[in-house]
Structure 1
Amino acid sequence: MKSTIKNIVVLAILATTSAGCNKDLNEVVYSDVTEQTYTYENANAAMGIVYANMRNLFGHTNYYMVQETTSDELVMPANPSGWDDGGIFKRMHQHTWNSENPQLINMWNSMYQGVINSNRIIEQIQNNRVPVPPGTTKTALLAEMRSARAFFYWLICDNFGAAPLITTTSTDLPGKASRRDIYNFIVGDLQAAIPDLSDVTGKAMHGRFNKWAAKALLANVYLNAQVYTGEEKWSECQAQCEEIIISGKYQLEGDYRNSFKTQNENSPETVFAVPFDENRGGGFFPDMFSWHAALRDKFAMQSTPWGAGSAMGVPQFIDTYDAGDKRLGYTWMMGAQFAADGVTPLKGSYDMAGKNLVFTRELPNGLFTGEAEGYRMNKFEVRSGARFDLSNDFPFFRYAQVLLMKAECLARKGDAAGAAQIVTSVRARNFDDPSQATVTGSGLLADSRYQYGFVENYKIVDRDNTAPVKLGRLLDELGWEFAWEGHRRRDDVRFGVFTTKSWLSKKPQGTDRSVFMIPQTAINSNPKLK
């Protein structure tokens, strides 16, 4: 299909063309099929590109790992197999990233590609170039695409703050809108869209925005409103959560692990998922950048993980887990590793060449480790015979999060006892002893168990900021429940530790590090951006 002048101009914002490219935007049409003459056979074919854009966010140099490795939960250090990559991972951990870090460029491009495609499909629906299938309406299709666009703008608002706000396929290069303006746009679009969205759940709406997914998105926006605008929206967040709860459409899995299995598309806990398929929709491969290559033989994998792997748990985070909490083992791969027969020890290849591979908790720092140091990803099931891309759908919003968002709102409004009852209900499935799952209101108000401080040679050598974390015990709960799910950076920011605390090899680098700068390539392509 012909690329229109409009899209070429907007793509310049994304830095998908170089600053030194040909400035002539007059198009040469090599096909009789143009955007003006192309028609879709069905709405799903039109809207599919918008949802497909979401899969681009999950690589090791994009949104997913940025949310984890800039936080106090995960780190991606170099080791004897490599993983320095010009320092791009080290800078994210140490909060010394710059505008040329590829992670920022990849995030920016992926998020705005989602916006651009949403705008295009919205206009095509409005102009009747997308057929309305039986059982729905044009209004419902527009509401769904506006919700998807709000999703991408939420990620932009959360990660970049002030940024271009593009709502049409106009040819005009945009300047930056304030973070508050983007927040207001997201809230307004979702409030307008939700009444027209389907309330159907199950296979028909899996991986799509129905009413409940949009409410979960709006609840997340409200939950972080104080960060975005300086104004608290706890009651508004709570109201959205309660509507999802009262609907009775979702429930907690009896087994925590079921939400993360290879075949998890029917999980009653998933409110909104990004679907992946090893053959038709790749892009999810956390095992490749976390696992040691020897683990190929543990799962009879068709692809080999990269070197000794890198993404691993920060020991200070690992040490916060409660005794008896099964989520520790469900989330983190640790200890001696064996082949598929469960008997043959797997061996190291670098500093532990020929020695049994045993993953240990301790890290000397966040910059360089041995090949077997650090607990690795165990949260998402890797089936026997797995290919490079996994087929696990990513549960972006889970019912457990809806419950814990309500709990946080209650706690911040002064009802710690009510919050504790909800937290206990979420914890219950992960403890054999019910008494260990029980938390109290006063417990949630306590400081975090996290031993913040700068680490050298396996030991904390500088505690730096030891001020208590408000609702720190709740921050711990969020960490245990949502590790490896891309929540932690946002939670760290909201609870006030992201720019104020030290962990591993990271020290505070200033309050401006709560957001990322616009990539330099985007600045070069649009003189209105600063």
Structure 2
Amino acid sequence: MRKESKKDEGVLNQYKRINMKNFKNILVIAGVLLVCSCKKFLNEDQKSAYGTDSQLSSERAARALANGAYQNLTGLVAGQNGSYGGNTWNLMEFMTGKANSDLGQTGFVNYQTLNYNSTSFYFDTWWQQMYLGVGAANLAIQKIPTITAADLSATEKTNLLAEARTLRALYYFYLVRMFGAVPEITAPQTDLNALKVTRTPAKQIYDDIIIPDLLFAEQSTLPYKDPTGKVNMATVKALLADVYLTYAGAAINGGPSAYAESAKRSLDVLTKGGYTLFPNYTDMINPANKNSGEFIFQVQFAASIPATNPLTSLTIPNYSGISKYADEYGSVYPTPQFIASYPAGDKRVQEKQFFFTSYPSITTHDTVYFKNHYIYKWFDVNAVTTTAKSDLNYTIYRLADVMLMYAEASNEAEGGPNAAAIGYVNQIRARANLAPIGALGKDAFEQEVWSERYWELCFENKMWFDMVRTRKVRNDVTGIFDNFVGHKTVFGATFTEKQLLFPLPKQETDVNPKLLPNNPGFN
């Protein structure tokens, strides 16, 4: 069970760790490179340490600063301190009402019943991890322009800044979608009192930070692909497409122009990026395919270092005895109603595609049959059967996601689906062994795209954000899209306005009362 600390850390302490001049050696490059999210620079030999007042004079130092902004991407799936099987990734799946759990320790019942509060699981870890990422990105953005080095060209410097600003935009994108108004901090701080700030409206965070950061990165010369897993131009444009699509939606109501901007960026990825759909769904759980094929941007994990992907063990049926893992969590699995919502003949719901219902025992090799469907999207066969260390990456953007973003955004911007949008949807359906769609009106096509996002991107932490931005929820029993407010889950809980934003963690509001009042419905 979770253990509460006697003294809450808060965002001030999180920033203190990264940014204060009073704390020398705050960026220990060797340490950063050991946990940073890009595999090919995990092995670089960096021995120097830098603080906010250090003099930097090499390309290696600039690279290390940029690398530091990646390390908190693992916070998207990180374990909750003091919990058993409680990973941040769980939260966005529990909230949908389309997931169940074998683990009471993860606080699932509070989300099943929608009775969570500001001290519940996950919120504090999400907040801390995203602001740690913001802090590391801010440090890189401040220091890289000051570096004078013969081996660092102006173009290279701009590209490193593009990486850092893209990552800062990504961290803030999570924050505003989850919490709404949040503190706007864009530089390393030298005074703790300066961190006792009020919240800035979400729209202003988009307008001041997220969109400008991505527009800056879009003007860089980053390549459309990077096999090492670093931010590339496709990452920039996919994120910008997602940002504009969300900005156009209910929370900000950015309107048709935002849909058009979203469609423009996603189409750039589709026509210029050179990405292709994997022929088979199981290609996505082959570690040899990391950062290739349809994968645009992933959180990097590796079996050879401590940062192995936790989702493999997290999604194995609880105590099923099918793996080398000491712990098989069964933390998240789909409801029967969600499984039944797939169209007849859909390959995605067939055995060992997106889900599985049986597997050989690790000891007897007899087939073990499960009582439910479980998630197969992070089933690393080698880790399960041999090493207990998953080498799979965690995907933030892949091609199918961008195809569906383009289909939705262009449909809204143009008042109906164009041929390209229909074609992209049909590519996704063809891989699922589904017949192509024909001519559809604007509303019918929109709902087809939303449904495909449910089925294709399920359990990739996309569904909850889609629900909130569209204010619609696909009812797995009726097959229609309910209004978000008033939708009743299969567990009998009903979404209200309160669910549109998560509560700010109590440990943050205790440290900084200027964050209050909390979001509606929370103390």
In the alignment, the residues of structure 2 paired with residue 146 and residue 306 of structure 1 have an alpha-carbon distance, to the nearest angstrom, of 37
Shift of 1:310: 3.2
3-state DSSP of counterpart to 1:271: strand
Shift of 1:290: 2.5
- Which residue pairs with 2:331 in the alignment? 310
3-state DSSP of counterpart to 2:296: strand
8 Å CA contact 2:11, 2:508 repeated in 1: yes
3-state DSSP of counterpart to 2:298: strand
3-state DSSP of counterpart to 1:282: coil
- Matched letter for residue 528 of structure 1: K
Name the stretch that deviates more: 185-194 or 333-342.
333-342
Shift of 1:91: 1.4
Shift of 1:512: 2.6
In the alignment, the residues of structure 1 paired with residue 93 and residue 451 of structure 2 have an alpha-carbon distance, to the nearest angstrom, of 15
* Shift in alpha-carbon separation, 1:43–1:425, aligned structure 2, 3 A: same
Shift of 1:506: 4.6
TM-score using structure 2 length: 0.78
Deviation string 1:296-317 (CA, Å, 9 cap, x unpaired) is 44x5x2x22336x231102221
* Shift in alpha-carbon separation, 1:506–1:474, aligned structure 2, 3 A: farther
Deviation string 1:336-371 (CA, Å, 9 cap, x unpaired) is 44235996133xxxxxxxxxxx22xxxxxxxxxxxx
Name the stretch that deviates more: 254-263 or 390-399.
254-263
Shift of 1:71: 0.9
Shift of 1:521: 0.5
Shift of 1:195: 0.7
Name the stretch that deviates more: 392-401 or 110-119.
392-401
8 Å CA contact 1:493, 1:514 repeated in 2: yes
* Shift in alpha-carbon separation, 1:14–1:284, aligned structure 2, 3 A: farther
8 Å CA contact 1:270, 1:399 repeated in 2: yes
* Shift in alpha-carbon separation, 1:331–1:106, aligned structure 2, 3 A: farther
- Which residue pairs with 1:322 in the alignment? 343
- Which residue pairs with 2:54 in the alignment? 37
In the alignment, the residues of structure 2 paired with residue 258 and residue 26 of structure 1 have an alpha-carbon distance, to the nearest angstrom, of 47
Deviation string 1:365-421 (CA, Å, 9 cap, x unpaired) is xxxxxxx3x311111231234444421112211111111111112333432363433
Q: How does 1:85-164 map to 2 (within 5 A)?
A: 85=105, 88-128=107-147, 133=152, 136-164=155-183
1:251 counterpart = 2:276:
yes
- Note the residue ranges of structure 2 that are not aligned, 5 or more in a row: 1-8, 27-47, 79-84, 474-483, 517-523
- Which residue pairs with 2:360 in the alignment? 338
In the alignment, the residues of structure 1 paired with residue 403 and residue 217 of structure 2 have an alpha-carbon distance, to the nearest angstrom, of 23
3-state DSSP of counterpart to 1:318: helix
- Which residue pairs with 2:417 in the alignment? 416
Say which of 66, 85, 108 aligns to 1:47. 66
Shift of 1:472: 3.4
In the alignment, the residues of structure 1 paired with residue 178 and residue 457 of structure 2 have an alpha-carbon distance, to the nearest angstrom, of 19
3-state DSSP of counterpart to 1:321: coil
Q: How does 1:225-304 map to 2 (within 5 A)?
A: 225=247, 226-232=249-255, 233-280=258-305, 282=307, 284-297=309-322, 299=323, 301=324, 303-304=325-326
| Count of residue pairs the alignment pairs up | 452
* Shift in alpha-carbon separation, 1:475–1:127, aligned structure 2, 3 A: same
- Matched letter for residue 522 of structure 1: E
8 Å CA contact 2:169, 2:213 repeated in 1: yes
* Shift in alpha-carbon separation, 1:135–1:296, aligned structure 2, 3 A: farther
* Shift in alpha-carbon separation, 1:281–1:51, aligned structure 2, 3 A: farther
8 Å CA contact 1:140, 1:198 repeated in 2: yes
Q: How does 1:300-449 map to 2 (within 5 A)?
A: 301=324, 303-306=325-328, 309-329=330-350, 330-339=352-361, 344-346=366-368, 358-359=369-370, 372=371, 374-386=372-384, 387-412=387-412, 413-416=414-417, 418=419, 419-431=421-433, 436-442=434-440, 445-446=443-444
% identical equivalent positions: 24
Say which of 488, 503, 526 aligns to 2:489. 503
Shift of 1:193: 2.1
RMSD: 3.1
Name the stretch that deviates more: 274-283 or 211-220.
274-283
8 Å CA contact 2:318, 2:328 repeated in 1: yes
1:218 counterpart = 2:218:
no
- Which residue pairs with 1:475 in the alignment? 450
TM-score using structure 1 length: 0.77
In the alignment, the residues of structure 1 paired with residue 406 and residue 21 of structure 2 have an alpha-carbon distance, to the nearest angstrom, of 53
8 Å CA contact 1:259, 1:267 repeated in 2: no
8 Å CA contact 2:315, 2:375 repeated in 1: yes
